[in-house]
């Protein structure tokens, strides 16, 4: 297979993580970056980790004309315009083999639908990056439990949470640019992976039918610690004026189309986890069997005392979103592989090489956007939402949450 030349659009935190993961992917190399801010710094970082031929391009079209596939890692509020530029480049002759989009696909259902249609009109294969479905631990659990599930019955409950102390970039904290708060940022992960583990092994990721959602969101850190206040001030975010939720939880109900059996998925997400750093916790419970995963359980621990702490240059070398540089630290030696980034890149590269969509395409991303927005809708209404109700479906198609509109003060004050 000829090496695939991959270009990145956006050079922030997730792009750097993906560049690290790409080092472990055969048949692909990072050859270009387009980013409005500091593309040279990203290219220099890429070179420092082995991507020696990552060139800087001055436009999306220019990048598309020099790469085989492009990955959109830009901020949420810029996605729709970027996909329009990719579609224009393809129609003008750019020989793209595929387009990747980092989660979430859109800030609203309407926005996600427009992105899907742009790529369909451009006739481009797509990949929606939802890394947790590609985690080796998740895939191994499902495969090993498949014969048990066939004999005893499917998983009845899946629980997933993702928590850390908050994002790096200011736009994440601005609900009008990000599309919400922690539910938009991380709820998509937990909803997607729970849906996936409940799905019988070998079936399509949308095999189970979503039938209901009941969710709650809250802002629990009104008295933000001073370090967080200072961070938001430096980022230019007025959190008192346009707050977003830092905690979200809910329950989704899915139905097996063959048996009509209903199963449950519980999700919990927060920007309140002021402990070691990023924690992903997942489990699944079935009749007579179960699995459990916690990414903070590592075979490696490091201790750094007070006197030695000044020598620590970057605490996140040990763990994403690490909040400490001393004491007993959890260390994950290869987070890019642990979290599924390597596997999702491999899947996209192989699919695009065969001129087809990846395992998760943008249509799937649209369905995840739909479920996230339904969760916001439920929280706003204060009740469970029937996802099979046609009137509700029509309302969701044009729905923009109060939080995403920057009008969430009253809703969040109530908590």
Q: Residue ranges of the domains in the chain?
A: 4-131+341-360, 133-334+370-409
Q: What number is the average pLDDT over the span 41-60?
A: 96
Confidence of residue 391 (pLDDT cuts 50, 70, 90): very high
pLDDT digits (tens, 9 = 90+) for 85-131: 999 999 999 999 999 999 999 999 999 999 999 999 999 999 999 99
Please state, in angstroms and rounded to a whole number, the distance separating the CA atoms of residues 209 and 220.
Answer: 33
- For residue 9, list its beta bridge partners: 34, 72
- Per cent of the chain over pLDDT 70 is 92
Cis preceding linkage at 104, omega within 30: yes
Segment 234-257 shows an average pLDDT of 90
Question: How many angstroms separate the CA atoms of 35 and 31, rounded?
Answer: 14
Mean pLDDT of 25-47: 95
Token code pair at residue 105: 């696909």
pLDDT-based confidence at residue 317 (cuts at 50, 70, 90): low
Q: Does domain 4-131+341-360 have CATH number 3.40.1280.10?
A: no
Q: Which two structure tokens, joined as six digits, stand for 71?
A: 């990955």
Taking the C-alpha atoms of residue 363 and residue 372, their distance in angstroms, rounded to an integer, is 15
What per-residue confidence (pLDDT) applies to 302?
73
Class of domain 133-334+370-409: alpha beta
Which pLDDT band, with edges at 50, 70 and 90, does 24 fall under? Answer: very high
Please tell me the predicted confidence (pLDDT) of residue 39: 94
pLDDT, the chain, mean = 91
**3 state SS of 178:** helix
Half-sphere exposure in the Cβ direction for 84 (13 Å, CA): 6
pLDDT band at 331 (very low <50, low <70, confident <90, very high): confident
CA distances in angstroms from 93 to 86, 90, 230, listed in the order given: 11, 5, 47
The DSSP 8-state label assigned to residue 101 in this structure reads E
Token pair, residue 348, equals: 């996209």
Q: What angle do CA 119, 121, 123 make, to 5 degrees?
A: 70
Cβ pair 212, 252 in contact under 8 A = yes
pLDDT tens per residue, range 337-389: 889 999 999 999 999 999 999 999 999 999 999 999 999 999 999 999 999 99
Count the residues in the chain. Answer: 415
In angstroms, the CA 145 to CA 149 distance is 6
Query: How many CB atoms lie under 10 A from the CB of residue 227?
Result: 10
Residue 282 predicted with pLDDT over 60:
yes
pLDDT at 216 exceeding the cut of 70: yes
Predicted confidence (pLDDT) at residue 201 exceeds the cutoff of 60: yes
The answer, yes or no, to whether residue 318 has pLDDT greater than 60, is: no
User: How far apart are the C-alpha atoms of 362 and 102, rounded to whole Å?
Assistant: 10
pLDDT digits (tens, 9 = 90+) for 288-304: 999 999 988 877 777 76
Inform me whether the pLDDT recorded for 223 exceeds 70: no
What pLDDT was estimated at residue 322? 64
CA dist 31 and 3 (Å) reads 11
d(CA 172, CA 189): 16
Whole-number pLDDT of residue 326: 66
pLDDT band at 312 (very low <50, low <70, confident <90, very high): low
Question: pLDDT at residue 1 above 60?
Answer: no
Of 61-65, 162-166, 205-209, 305-309, where does mean pLDDT reach its minimum?
A: 305-309
- pLDDT of 319 higher than 90: no
SS3 call for 236: coil
Q: What is the pLDDT of residues 121-173, one digit of tens each?
A: 999 999 999 999 999 999 999 999 999 999 999 999 999 999 998 887 888 88
CA 326 and chain centroid, separation: 29
Residue 240 pLDDT level (bands cut at 50, 70, 90): confident
Q: Where are the beta strands (DSSP E) in 184-223?
A: 209-218
Strand-pairing partners, residue 266, are 159, 251
Coil, helix or strand for 34? strand
Chain-centre distance for alpha carbon 95: 27
């Amino acid at each position: 297979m000829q090496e695939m030349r991959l270009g990145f659009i956006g050079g922030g935190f997730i792009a750097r993580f993906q560049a690290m993961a790409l080092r472990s992917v055969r048949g692909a190399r990072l050859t270009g970056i387009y980013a409005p801010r500091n593309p040279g710094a990203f290219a220099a970082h890429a070179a420092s980790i082995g991507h020696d031929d990552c060139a800087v391009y001055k436009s999306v079209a220019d990048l598309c004309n020099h790469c085989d596939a492009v990955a959109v890692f830009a901020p949420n509020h810029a996605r729709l315009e970027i996909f329009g530029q990719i579609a224009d480049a393809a129609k003008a002759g750019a020989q793209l083999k595929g387009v990747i989009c980092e989660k979430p696909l859109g800030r609203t259902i309407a926005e996600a639908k427009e992105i899907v249609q742009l790529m369909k009109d451009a006739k481009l294969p797509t990949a929606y990056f939802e890394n947790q479905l590609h985690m080796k631990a998740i895939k191994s659990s499902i495969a090993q439990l498949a014969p048990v599930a066939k004999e005893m019955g499917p998983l009845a409950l899946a629980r997933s949470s993702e928590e850390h102390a908050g994002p790096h970039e200011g736009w994440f904290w601005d609900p009008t640019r990000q599309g919400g708060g922690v539910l938009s940022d991380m709820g998509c992960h937990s909803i997607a992976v729970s849906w996936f583990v409940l799905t019988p092994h070998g079936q399509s990721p949308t095999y189970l039918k979503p039938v209901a959602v009941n969710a709650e969101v809250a802002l629990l850190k009104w008295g933000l610690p001073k370090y967080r206040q200072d961070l938001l001030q430096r980022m230019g975010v007025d959190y008192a004026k346009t707050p977003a939720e830092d905690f979200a939880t809910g329950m989704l109900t899915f139905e097996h189309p063959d048996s009509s059996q209903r199963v449950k998925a519980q999700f919990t997400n927060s920007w309140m986890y002021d402990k070691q750093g990023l924690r992903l916790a997942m489990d699944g419970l079935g009749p007579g069997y179960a699995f459990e995963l916690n990414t903070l359980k590592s075979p490696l621990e490091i201790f750094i005392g007070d006197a030695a702490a000044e020598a620590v240059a970057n605490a996140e070398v040990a763990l994403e979103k690490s909040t400490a540089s001393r004491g007993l630290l959890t260390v994950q030696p290869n987070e890019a592989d642990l979290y599924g980034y390597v596997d999702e890149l491999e899947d996209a590269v192989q699919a695009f090489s065969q001129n087809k969509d990846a395992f998760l395409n943008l249509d799937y991303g649209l369905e995840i956007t739909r479920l996230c927005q339904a969760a916001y809708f439920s929280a706003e209404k204060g009740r469970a939402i029937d996802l099979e109700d046609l009137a509700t479906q029509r309302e969701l198609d044009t729905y923009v949450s109060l939080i995403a509109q920057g009008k969430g003060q009253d809703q969040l004050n109530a908590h």
